[in-house]
Structure 1
Amino acid sequence: MLWLMRHVRLASFAVLFGLAPAAPVFADAAPQLLVRAHLEPAGPVVAGSEVKLVVDLLTTTWFTEAPNWPLFTVPDAIVSLPDEQADNLSEEIDGVHWFGVSRAYRIAPQAGKTYRIAPFAITVYPGGANAPAQVMTPALTLVATLPPGAEGMATFFATSALTVTQNIEPSSAHLKVGESITRTIVQRAAGTEAMLIPPASLGDVEGLKRYAKPPTTRNIVQDRVGLVAGERTDSVTYSADRDGRFKLPPVSVEWWNTKTQKKETAVLPGVTFSASKAREKPLFEIPADAMSQGFPHRIVVIHSREVLLGCALVLAVGVLLWARSRITTFVRGTRARAREARRRYRESAAMAWRKLRAVARNGELRGMVPALYRWMDRTGDFGRPARLENLTQSDDAAAAQLALAVNAHYAGGAALPLNWAATARALRRMQRKAKSRRRATRPLPPLNDY
């Protein structure tokens, strides 16, 4: 027994001082990933109401960056991803500790039927992995029903109160050929988000050119009350290319009254107007009686200077049009280079060091550990992927203290105190030493052959 204990001590001594090969103490297991999704509420819902699609992303390590949440589509439904902060998760499943985030999509079915929500991919960035990973959400089924009496509605839209107004500009019933008229319809639904309001039907009119403007939506919110109403504005401009009489047809808006549980229809009246050709006049017109009776009159003379200035202006416009493609290409290239420069800076070691310094000043080791590994990875001076043993130095107390604190954090023990100023100086020293070793081992360039 004494012989065995003596050999164990000798082996530990040899490993500690580098006399024997040591096992990879800091080797991390590959991160595991888990994705979950469910609907709230889970049972059948009434068409027009919102349903939450809650998606949970979990990993056994941590996420170095926020996941890429895609916006998918569902036929006959409105899907949105509110700009809300993701919820952090920390769970223990079958004895394994998982960390992650959760976000909720909003789905508003517009018809009474069974919806199949197909799986969609989400890109995640787990800590300890060499590259991003993709996970697929499970397929889900959503059942939406219509109340009795609403089966024949083209689009089911439910609200407690709806007001619909229209505005015609210009208000004159007579236009000149080439002029335009704009029809704007505003819908305001009580207690309903603006994204759920269906668009007004503003179709084509024979003899008129139609130019639709992008719709605008806004939610009316009051303090201590919350959402009061949602408002949607649809606007279309019609242009008359010929003379004649035209009519914008009436517009009907169907909606379901949740108070009376009945279908109602708001009707906006049609608008009739006419368009006529403008009477052409000669560029220069001098009355004949003024010429015959000797009345004073004025003749406009255009000097050569104005002619040259006009020709130069036309030439400048022509040059700009000719060089438009080259200018556009140059501007696009400049913007692309600027975006690439910003991206490289965001992914640079300098930016990673700034984030590490900001997190370390808060004194929270849980946020500092992923920031430390991200900086080590991006410098490239501590291996690829960066490992903690490449940082530890027996002759640097601050670096050794940092290694002990990180190991204690992963072991789940009490957090060890760190002096960030001393730790930062130690990290910079380790980085300079690593660069010096890399330059010393770099092969010499070939000699010039004259």
Structure 2
Amino acid sequence: MTAVFLRLLLVIAWLGAACASASVFADAAPRTLVRAHLEPAGPVVAGSEVKLVVDLLTTTWFTEAPNWPLFTVPDAIVSLPDEQADNLSEDIGGVRWFGVSRAYRIAPQAGKTFDIAPFAITVYPGGTNTPVQVMTPALKLVATLPPGAEGMGTFFPTTRLTATQTIEPAKEHIRVGDAVTRTITQRAAGTESMLIPPVNLGDVDGLKRYAKPPATRNIVQDRVGLVAGERTDSVTYTADHNGRFKLPPVTIEWWNTKTQKKETIELPGVTFSAATAHEKPLFDIPVEAMSNGFPHRIIVIHSRQVIIGCAVLLGLMLAVWARVRVVTFLRRTWKRAADARQRYLEGEAVAWRRLREVAHQGDWRRIIPALYRWLDRTHEFGHPARLESIVRAGSAGGTDDRDDRGVADLVDAVGAHYAGGATRELRWKDAETALRRVERKTRLQQEEAQPLPPLNQF
């Protein structure tokens, strides 16, 4: 019995040692920690930036980047710059912690105490598959105003501020339904664009107001860094009835940090009138499209445009309907033009011009073919034409002796060339006159020999 009891004690002791050993080598659950503080911690001047530094720590590691939310603070501008997070490694109470740190930017726009409420951040510590949500501590930010700035609606400090205004279209008279866009651009030296306060472009009696999203940009130069920030606010107004309307002046207040004084920029108002047009828009632009800043255009169609459009549409329909006839007509016209050109090239006028060109050159090897080509094209000396036909035509018509001599000299010169004798010089001026007279007289003789057409019988 005693032996059994001793064995049971040994088993219990062994199990206890095993459990203790297991607890030593098992991984402890990951722990998380969040810290937050302001830089600078004390009161600041309104309009200047304050950093809200948030540290996220864990006893293991982060498998993913934390979800950094963007929160709001009334009367202040909050942003989270696209900067890389800083890595942390610290010993706290003998335990090694690892984490990341990022800085929010807060720019108070008024002199008062700001309550920065806690906000949740989701982290992903290693060693667990479940994300963990931590809450930042509540903080207070005290902002003060310099003497002389107590009555300012929005406190905006900078070294220099300029503002420009554009009105489009720049007309004093518009039609009902037309849009007028007012754009104001502010540029602040050495200040980020996100810190520039918006311009108050409010409602105007009798006009519909459609605000567009503001446009901001930072002007940066190499080796200098941030030069200035720029913000553009734009509002579109439309008139829905006749009348005279006025866009009020705009006053921009800002605090000059060099002179430590309040300064004001005055932008003048604009007056214009709207009259009813004879035509009406096809449809109204949805309010959602205007308010969200989507591209838009008011379409007005005049009666003359409608008539022209209908005429063009009718013409296109007729062209489609008669396309086969039009294509056939164009092909026939093209063929007739080609045939006419071919007849002209093969006609007597071109052959005569060619004969004159080669005759002035005096080369009988080119003159004789050109002469026969012209004779064939005249159709007055038979086909194929012969030189004897010229001689007969000249003697039969009672021609002038000069024509007979000119034709005879030409015929003799051609015969001498074919006989292989001495080449005779061509007197082209005499031959040209003789050929033209003989050709003209031969044509008249043929016309006189043709009988008259029969008279119409009634």
Matched residue type, 2:145: L
Matched residue type, 1:261: Q
Residue of structure 2 equivalent to 1:110: 109
Any idea what SS the aligned residue of 2:194 has? helix
In structure 2, relative to structure 1, the CA distance for the partners of 1:81 and 1:302 (3 Å cut) is closer
Once the two structures are TM-superposed, the CA of residue 237 in structure 1 deviates from its matched residue by 0.6
CA distance in 2, matches of 1:284, 1:94: 88
CA distance in 1, matches of 2:226, 2:69: 27
Residue of structure 1 equivalent to 2:216: 217
Residue of structure 1 equivalent to 2:186: 187
- Taking the TM superposition and a 5 Å limit, the aligned residue runs for 1:415-430 are none
> Structure 1 vs Structure 2: percent identity of aligned residues?
78
In structure 2, relative to structure 1, the CA distance for the partners of 1:301 and 1:201 (3 Å cut) is closer
When the two structures are superposed, what TM-score results if normalisation uses the length of structure 1?
Answer: 0.58
C-alpha deviations, 1:283-312, integer Å up to 9, x for none? Answer: 589xxxxxxxxxxxxx95986997xxxxxx
Question: Is 1:145 matched up with 2:144?
Answer: yes
- Taking the TM superposition and a 5 Å limit, the aligned residue runs for 1:284-303 are none
Residue of structure 2 equivalent to 1:250: 249
Matched residue type, 1:56: D
Matched residue type, 1:207: G
CA distance in 1, matches of 2:211, 2:74: 23
C-alpha deviations, 1:51-87, integer Å up to 9, x for none? Answer: 0000001111001111111111111111111111000
- Taking the TM superposition and a 5 Å limit, the aligned residue runs for 1:41-120 are 41-120=40-119
CA distance in 2, matches of 1:133, 1:51: 28
Residue of structure 1 equivalent to 2:269: 270
C-alpha deviations, 1:186-242, integer Å up to 9, x for none? Answer: 000001110110101101111111111100000101111111100000000111111
Matched residue type, 2:104: Y
Once the two structures are TM-superposed, the CA of residue 244 in structure 1 deviates from its matched residue by 1.2
Question: Is 1:203 matched up with 2:196?
Answer: no
Q: How many positions carry a matched residue from both structures? A: 280
Once the two structures are TM-superposed, the CA of residue 97 in structure 1 deviates from its matched residue by 0.5
- Aligned CA-pair RMSD: 2.9
Matched residue type, 2:277: A
In structure 2, relative to structure 1, the CA distance for the partners of 1:85 and 1:279 (3 Å cut) is same
Any idea what SS the aligned residue of 1:195 has? helix
Matched residue type, 2:116: I
In structure 2, relative to structure 1, the CA distance for the partners of 1:246 and 1:226 (3 Å cut) is same
Matched residue type, 1:174: H
In structure 2, relative to structure 1, the CA distance for the partners of 1:276 and 1:95 (3 Å cut) is same
Which sections of structure 2, spanning at least 5 residues, go unmatched? 1-10, 280-300, 318-458
In structure 2, relative to structure 1, the CA distance for the partners of 1:302 and 1:165 (3 Å cut) is closer
- Taking the TM superposition and a 5 Å limit, the aligned residue runs for 1:299-448 are none
Larger Rg: 2
Once the two structures are TM-superposed, the CA of residue 27 in structure 1 deviates from its matched residue by 2.4
CA distance in 2, matches of 1:302, 1:56: 71
In structure 2, relative to structure 1, the CA distance for the partners of 1:22 and 1:94 (3 Å cut) is closer
CA distance in 2, matches of 1:230, 1:174: 35
CA distance in 2, matches of 1:192, 1:117: 24
CA distance in 1, matches of 2:246, 2:118: 47
CA distance in 1, matches of 2:217, 2:302: 51
Give 4+ residue runs of structure 1 displaced > 2 Å after superposition: 20-27, 279-285, 299-306
CA distance in 2, matches of 1:49, 1:21: 58
In structure 2, relative to structure 1, the CA distance for the partners of 1:283 and 1:99 (3 Å cut) is closer
CA distance in 2, matches of 1:259, 1:111: 20
Residue of structure 1 equivalent to 2:170: 171
CA distance in 1, matches of 2:313, 2:141: 75
Once the two structures are TM-superposed, the CA of residue 23 in structure 1 deviates from its matched residue by 3.4
CA distance in 2, matches of 1:282, 1:213: 30
